[in-house]
Structure 1
């Protein structure tokens, strides 16, 4: 099911990606801020990670994982833990916080309505980590009166769960619904260069910072996802902290 901007002209769609490392310090005021966004007429969809919670569960199970190119390597013994933690623990917590702010919310994952169909990114390197092949937004369009809260678990054609990077999932979902803006809410106020937050930038500049090591680790998939959304004509992409302060990324260099 595909819907064009013309058929959704009166609806401003905002995708908010919540970083797992930030979740545990979000305050009720943050969720009230989302309520205000909704009251202003914005359609909000939340995509979330859950790194710290997953780390605790893996440690309890004595399962070791590591990160390659900003992605968590997910061996066979880890994928069930990742799946149950995201879907069974982190997602319900976010739904509850939204409901405490008088926002109706529904928890979802890639299995629901065929929302995120995926295939192995590179099984030899990353294990059970997926790349999204298709997003089916039909279920999201049906949830007119509730905020979808999406865990980043995709599924293969054979029904295997795969761990999806939350930044990438947010990008693909925003593109699929032709969102008006995408906010990456994280524990850092945007992109930092030489210790200072950059207020505005563009993909060419970002690629240079990746090449010289200024941008590294988990920030790489975040900025790459932002650039991907710009290529999909998402008008505004921002990397912000819980106060919604940070970096706005434009498709091209601003004319001065």
Structure 2
């Protein structure tokens, strides 16, 4: 019995960290220090990223217009090609380089690699070439984590026939967190948490979020973040945070139910 308890205490905890916004323009020393502290404490970490700013610049350079609906980028056939080349060819390797340079062993992946993200088209009439994740190849991630390597995953994948798909990065992060049974999901953004009437909320519940979405206090790009958080809470992930680069912000919890 003692051995069993000891084994449980030493089992690594898993944290999925999603990077978005201006975070991808250049992470500072505090981020890498915090990251290595989490690793030193025995946590296994996975990074998921989008690249909205870089994609916007590439689209504008190529004269391609883009809109968002419900926080999802409407992705035309022309836009998906640009998004794919930007995320896989530029943003991902730059991020992996930053991590490796700061002493963190990392490897870049997209949904294509090792069939990591099996997808279908979410709603082509509404969103264009945007993916819905049907399955995550968690075995691939398990292998990398077991060897001390941090997976860095871009939010691009494809259908069974190879059609490229853009995927909301918050959704990718939540699906991966669920697949690997993560202890925590951290959504890192340039907004330090959920703001209501200009004030960052330190701790909120799922019912708070549901109310704020209906009231319009939560809107735009924050909707996919909180939706991903609620999905993870409902599936049993204990802790969801929407935080800034200092890893401080809003913690989202289940609504407490009292008898």
Q: TM-score range by the shorter chain?
A: over 0.9
Q: Indicate the residue corresponding to 1:176 in structure 2.
A: 179
The whole-number CA distance in structure 1 between the counterparts of 2:119 and 2:10 is 30
Consecutive unaligned residues in structure 1, runs of 5 or more: 1-5
**Cα deviation, residue 20, structure 1:** 3.3
Q: In the TM superposition, what are the counterparts of 1:5-20 in structure 2 within 5 Å?
A: 10-20=11-21
| Aligned twin of 1:161 | 164
Offset of 1:21 from its aligned partner? 3.1
Structure 2, unmatched stretches of 5+, are 1-6
Mapped to 1, the partners of 2:247 and 2:29 lie a distance apart of 15
User: 1:224: how far off?
Assistant: 0.4
> With structure 1 as the length reference, what TM-score do the two structures score?
0.94
Q: 5 Å matches for 1:13-92?
A: 13-92=14-93
Q: Give the aligned CA root-mean-square deviation in angstroms.
A: 1.6
Q: Distance in 2 between matches of 1:224 and 1:34?
A: 25
The Cα offsets for residues 203-229 of structure 1, whole Å up to 9 and x where unpaired, read as 111011011110000000000000111
For 2:47 and 2:169, how far apart are their aligned partners in 1?
A: 11
Q: Verify the 8 A CA contact 2:77 2:128 in the aligned structure 1.
A: yes
Q: Which runs of structure 2 are paired with 1:139-150 in the superposition (5 Å)?
A: 139-143=140-144, 144-150=147-153
Change (3 A) 1:189 1:20: closer
Q: How many residue pairs get matched?
A: 250
Match of 2:4 in 1: none
Q: Which has the higher helix share?
A: 2
Equivalent-residue separation in structure 2 for 1:162 and 1:20 (angstroms): 20
What is the aligned partner in structure 2 of residue 190 from structure 1? 193
- TM superposition shift of 1:10: 0.3
- Given the alignment of the two structures, is residue 237 of structure 1 paired with residue 212 of structure 2, yes or no? no
Residues in 1 aligned to 2:81 and 2:231: alpha-carbon distance in whole angstroms: 29
| Aligned position for 2:126 | 125
2:228 aligned with 1:228: no
Greater alpha carbon shift after TM alignment, 207-216 vs 136-145: 136-145
Q: Secondary structure of 1:150's match? A: strand
- The runs of at least 4 aligned residues of structure 1 exceeding 3 Å deviation read 6-9
User: Which has the larger displacement, 18-27 or 78-87?
Assistant: 18-27
1:32 and 1:106 map into 2 onto residues whose CA distance is 19
Structure 1 position 201 matched with structure 2 position 204: yes
CA deviation map 1:149-196 (0-9, x unaligned): 000012211111100000011000000000000100001111111111
1:238 is paired with a residue whose SS is strand
Report the 3-state secondary structure (helix = DSSP H, G, I; strand = E; otherwise coil) of the residue aligned with 2:175.
helix
